[in-house]
Chains A and B, each alone.
Chain A
């Protein structure tokens, strides 16, 4: 499948050990983009474009639509770079948060929630998730996240994964997992807090 050929080796790998430098470089580039520096934008795209596309592909799935969304996200990065505030988080978080939001918006506008609900009810959720996972080169980052995810309770992990990777609202997640709304909200929060601590996110 041509699709699989497009899954490249991660940009992270051993470089991830130098995460602080990487984060600083991305921040410098994004701040330059905010001043209208197109070369900096191209460099930023080369560093982070495959991460943006990875997250978008994972949520949107359809290759053609994913490219559209990735393009939208990167153009939005260019357009609104001036809003990036280094005091409020890293450049990578700012961009990937935007990418995820856009991907979710696309999924929600494209698919009736009932269809998606049905899809998960048919137990396709676990298989989809693993299929995608297997295409991704195992990296340092990937291992770290997998390890952190394994520290969550089943309900925490399912709630976080269904929302983040599949684009379900917490109401849909509650329905899918046959769990009260309040519980799902709480599990998403305490699951993420546990992940935050396990990953050492400041």
Chain B
């Protein structure tokens, strides 16, 4: 990905955890598609670990017992969870859920619209925006990229829900769009953020501070449209409680994004009221 020279220089800051949250999420998106950076990050993280390994401190004697007791009750992640993409299952017509029909106001009291958050993201990416605009300006190329992204998403979604599934080109394309808006909601220490470009019909969802979904369940994103809730992808937070998803579907038609917990594989319609709603525009 030689078209993003500035991102490459972030390997060092990333390896010592010196990136602010937003940039960390974006850089991890880049890592997912840049083999050279991934290789360098592995080496620099190993180097950073050597810096850490010179500090040796024995914790109190009781800690060992507390940890061993705790893990006895902690369920381990299972290898290679296989989850079908809900999008494919949900192609059929669906009823309008009550919470959609009700006018989407349910979580209004919890909404925190933080448009300023976008400014920080964009400012941090100033160096890359110039490059991106060159790419974004070429309609054919963008369209081809989006096609590839869609394919890749569908493929990845079939195979795993654990990895933050996204590509940096899709994420940064959205961020570089002239009409981009950011909506953030914080609820019980869960942060949900949607960065959307209505004219491009694209959006990225970013989660921070999320617990894993309950056993054999997954979080599902829904685009709330006049015709009902349309599935826009699923996500599972990583071990740091974070997730970044390029949302599927046409965000231009959506008035809000909702999140529900569904059984693995998804549901034909949202099975409950959304645990979080992000009003767009």
A is bound by B:
yes
Interface residues of A (CB under 8 A from B): 6-12, 34, 36, 38, 41-42, 45-46, 49-51, 53-58, 66-67, 70-71, 74-76, 78-83, 88-90, 92-93, 96-101, 104-105, 132, 136-137, 139, 141-142, 144-146, 160, 163-165, 167-171, 173, 182, 184-193, 195-196, 199, 201-202
Report Cα–Cα, A90/B49, bound state, in Å. 10
B67 and A71 form a contact (CB under 8 A): yes
- Interchain residue pairs A-B with the least CB separation, the first 3: A189-B12, A54-B55, A188-B12
Question: Which DSSP category, helix, strand, loop or mixed, fits chain A's interface?
Answer: helix
Residues of chain B contacted by A168 (CB below 8 angstroms): 18
| Residue among A7, A75, A142, A201 with the highest chain B CB neighbour number at 10 A | A201
B59 and A89 form a contact (CB under 8 A): no
Contact of A160 among B16, B72, B77 (CB under 8 A): B16
| Residue among B16, B48, B70 with the highest chain A CB neighbour number at 10 A | B16
B36 smallest CB distance to A (angstroms): 13
Q: Is B215 located at the chain interface by the 8 A CB criterion?
A: no
Which stretch in B39-47, B176-184, B192-200 binds the other chain? B39-47
A193 and B44 form a contact (CB under 8 A): yes
By beta carbon, the residue of chain B nearest A145 is B54
Q: Is B66 located at the chain interface by the 8 A CB criterion?
A: yes
B59 and A96 form a contact (CB under 8 A): no
Contact with A along B77-117 (1 / 0, CB 8 A): 11100000000000000000000000000000000000000
A55 and B76 form a contact (CB under 8 A): no
By beta carbon, the residue of chain A nearest B51 is A164
Residues of chain A contacted by B227 (CB below 8 angstroms): none
Residues of chain B contacted by A193 (CB below 8 angstroms): 12, 44
Residues of chain B contacted by A71 (CB below 8 angstroms): 63, 66-67, 70
Residues of chain B contacted by A57 (CB below 8 angstroms): 55, 57
Report Cα–Cα, A129/B71, bound state, in Å. 34
B163 smallest CB distance to A (angstroms): 10
